[in-house]
Amino acid sequence: MDWSLLGCGRYGHITFAPVEPELRARMRAQLPDGEAWCCLRCGAFVPGSPDLSGPAASAPVVSRGKDVRSKLILRLFALERFLRAILFGLAAYGLWRYRYSRYSIEQVFDRELPIIRSLFRQLGFNIDHSKVVSLLQHALALSNGSLTLLAAGAAAYAVIEITEGTGLWLAKRWGEYFAMIATSLGLPLEIYDLTRKVSAIALVLFAINLALVLYLVITKRLFGIRGGKRSYDARLRSESVLEAAMRAAHSEPPPAAPEGESPARDQPPDPAPGQSPNPATANRQPPAPQPSPATANRQPPAPQPNPATTNRQPPAPQPNPATTNRQPPAPQKSPATANRQPPAPQPDPAPGPEPVKRRS
């Protein structure tokens, strides 16, 4: 079940127009017949003008999802508290009135009791053992001071129940704390009463009070349970439609400047027509960026060798299968020298005998 849609169907849509341009563009939609604004509860776009407008910080906090269901449960507990307040208020009023007219009531009771006793005896009931009759007889025996204390106690309890019911109905943080503390204080008395005598009414009232205490502590994170109020508020913000639009707007990068141009920074605005420029800012140049002291003298880290490639040897060249078994081409002879025979070698002349020298 979509509790957000159920809440919008019960109480109507809540639209808000933020003044911030980037948020306004996300919360608004243009329709053929007009504009539509996003509902802060169910997230649907509702045609027509927005209900509220202003800065995003002033947007109302709207319950969504499980928080709508939680409010419904708290209102059921508030109705039970209002019913108790009515009963104890009537009891306080009856005791107060009985204090001033107890003698007339005693006379009526003494005069009518025999008639009532005989009537019920004919029907088969003995009212002498009835708890209602015993309670009336005990009340008639009380003094005026005791009746005043009983009336004051019943009236005080009725006021406490009204306060609890109001805080729970409005889903206020103070009402949740008040209801939890006031109900917890009464649990020991209810446990003691159950140890003496167990009754269906006592069991039902004890179960309702215990369920209220546990529900408030766990779901509303009272007294720091599950992160306390900070975590509870963070969960509500995370479910907010406007917070989601703000996160989406902040996550978008700023538009890039045109090529060849640098974004203007710290430039004074142009003077209005007919107004002379301010001499104090006419020649002011934008301040040069200052290096950070933490990075001014910091040297870049030396490159670290990659362990994966430190001891790796380059791969050996692989022979090309296409040229591994290829033989170089044989030299081709020229046609002019193909049939030419090399010249025959000429023998050297034999050496002759040496001439004989004659002696004289």
The reported pLDDT for the residue numbered 286 is: 53
Alpha helices in 61-199 (DSSP H): 66-100, 102-122, 131-140, 144-170, 173-196
Q: How far is CA 343 from the centre of its chain?
A: 110
Tens digit of pLDDT per residue, the chain (360 long)?
788 888 888 888 999 999 988 888 889 998 888 899 999 988 889 999 999 889 988 888 888 888 888 999 999 999 999 999 999 999 888 888 777 776 666 666 666 667 777 777 777 776 666 666 676 667 667 777 888 888 899 999 999 999 999 999 998 999 999 999 999 999 999 999 889 888 888 899 999 999 999 999 998 999 888 888 888 888 877 788 888 888 887 776 655 544 554 444 444 445 544 555 554 444 555 555 565 545 455 555 555 655 555 555 555 556 555 555 555 555 555 445 445 555 555 555 444 445 444 453
Q: Which of 53, 74, 50, 46 is nearest to 166 (CA)?
A: 74
How far apart CA 81 and CA 166 sit, in angstroms, is 9
Q: What is the pLDDT of residues 35-55, one digit of tens each?
A: 999 999 888 899 999 998 899
Residue 143's pLDDT is 76
What tokens appear for 315 in the block? 């791969």
pLDDT the model gives residue 130: 64
| CA–CA distance, 173 with 71 (Å, rounded to integer) | 12
Listed in sequence order, the residues at least 6 apart from 85 whose beta carbon sits closer than 8 Å to its beta carbon are 158, 159, 161, 162, 165
The encoded tokens of residue 88 equal 């104890």
Dihedral angle sign, alpha carbons of residues 327, 328, 329, 332:
negative
- The residue among 251, 255, 252, 245 whose CA lies nearest residue 17 is 245
pLDDT of 352 reads: 47
Residue 18 is inside which H or E element, if any? strand 16-18
Q: Which two tokens stand for residue 194?
A: 């159950």
Residue 265: predicted pLDDT: 46
- For residue 338, the model assigns a pLDDT of 46
Quote the DSSP letter at residue 348.
Answer: P
Between CA 236 and CA 173 the distance in angstroms is 14
Written as one letter, the residue type at 181 is I
DSSP 181: H
